[in-house]
C-alpha cells in the first residue's frame, strides 16, 4: 500500500530496528519501547487488520510469534512475562492500519505497561451468555 508506514519499513524506505525477517513476516522494535524489547510483528503482505486475514495469512504470521517471543525471553532472562496485543479497527485503538502484533516483555508490575479489564464478572445472566455463545457459534465457518 502506497502510504502505509509499515509497508515502507518492509521495503526499507523507512529505517527500523529489525529483529526478525523471513518471506512472510517482518519483526522490529516498536519506537515507543513501552518496555525494553517491545517488538512489532507484521505480515509482509499488506493486511489492514485481523479481519483481512485468510487461513494461510494467519498460519504464516501467527506461527512466527512463539519463535520471536522465545528470542525475547532468551535475550532478556530477567523478563517475567509477555503481553501479546493486537488492536483491530480504530475503536479498538488501532492507529496504524497495517496489521501488527505487539510483543511486550514484562519485567515487573511497575513497568511502563498496563492492561486492565473492569470487573464485569456476573453482569450477564446464564441465558444471556448462552444467547451470545450461540450467536457467535452460528457464524463460525
User: What is the phi/psi pair of residue 33, to 5°?
Assistant: 45, 60
Check if 100 is active-site. yes
- Among candidates 87, 98, 101, 89, which has minimal Cα distance to 5? 98
Contact 81, 21 (CB under 8 A): no
3-state secondary structure at position 28: strand
Per-residue CA distances from 129 to 45, 123, 124, 126 (Å):
37, 10, 6, 5
C-alpha cell at 22: 523471513
Which of 38, 98, 100, 102 is catalytic? The answer is: 100
Residues annotated catalytic, as ranges = 100
Amino acid at each position: 500500500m502506497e502510504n502505509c508506514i509499515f509497508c515502507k519499513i518492509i521495503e526499507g524506505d523507512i529505517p527500523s530496528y529489525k529483529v526478525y525477517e523471513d518471506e512472510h513476516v517482518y519483526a522490529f522494535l516498536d519506537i515507543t519501547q513501552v518496555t525494553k524489547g517491545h517488538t512489532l510483528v507484521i505480515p509482509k503482505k499488506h493486511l489492514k487488520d485481523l479481519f483481512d486475514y485468510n487461513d494461510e495469512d494467519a498460519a504464516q504470521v501467527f506461527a512466527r510469534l512463539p519463535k520471536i517471543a522465545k528470542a525475547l525471553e532468551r535475550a532478556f532472562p530477567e523478563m517475567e512475562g509477555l503481553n501479546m496485543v493486537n488492536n483491530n479497527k480504530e475503536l479498538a485503538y488501532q492507529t496504524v492500519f497495517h496489521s501488527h502484533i505487539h510483543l511486550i516483555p514484562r519485567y515487573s508490575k511497575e513497568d511502563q505497561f498496563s492492561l486492565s479489564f473492569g470487573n464485569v464478572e456476573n453482569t450477564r445472566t446464564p441465558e444471556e451468555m448462552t444467547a451470545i455463545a450461540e450467536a457467535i457459534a452460528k457464524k463460525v465457518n
